[in-house]
Amino acid sequence: MTDILDLTDATWPAAARHEAGAFVVREGLGGGQRVSSATVRAAWAETDIDRAEACQAALGQVPLFLIRPDEEPLDRALAARGYAVKDPVHAY
């Protein structure tokens, strides 16, 4: 089965992608939330979240992370920083 994020990245890509520690930060240029979000691509640490936030700020984007179902530890770490769920998506 194809990962839904891979499919949407292929059919509606971000304007650019930037590596920020363990994260990929998408540069959306107003194209929507998913194309302006950060996703984890490797084992991460708190400093990687800092790097992703800094990258998004440098791009003039509001910090936004896309969390996959198996990423509960990241979800908790972001919640501890004051992040809240925004527009949850359930794909079947």
Looking at residue 56, its pLDDT comes to 98
Q: How many CB atoms lie within 10 A of CB 37?
A: 23
Q: How far is Cα 28 from Cα 36, in angstroms, rounded to an integer?
A: 4
Looking at residue 73, its pLDDT comes to 98
Domain ranges across the chain = 8-80
Give the CA count within 13 Å in the CB-facing half-sphere of 58. Answer: 11
Looking at residue 1, its pLDDT comes to 39
Looking at residue 69, its pLDDT comes to 86
Quick check: 50 and 20 in contact, CB under 8 A? no
Burial of 67 (0-12, 13-18, 19+ CB in 10 A): middle
Helices 72-80 and 46-58 pack at an angle, to 10 degrees, of 70
Mean pLDDT, consecutive 10-residue stretches, the chain (92 aa), reads 74 94 96 94 98 98 94 98 87 67
Q: Which pTM value belongs to this model? A: 0.89
Looking at residue 5, its pLDDT comes to 77
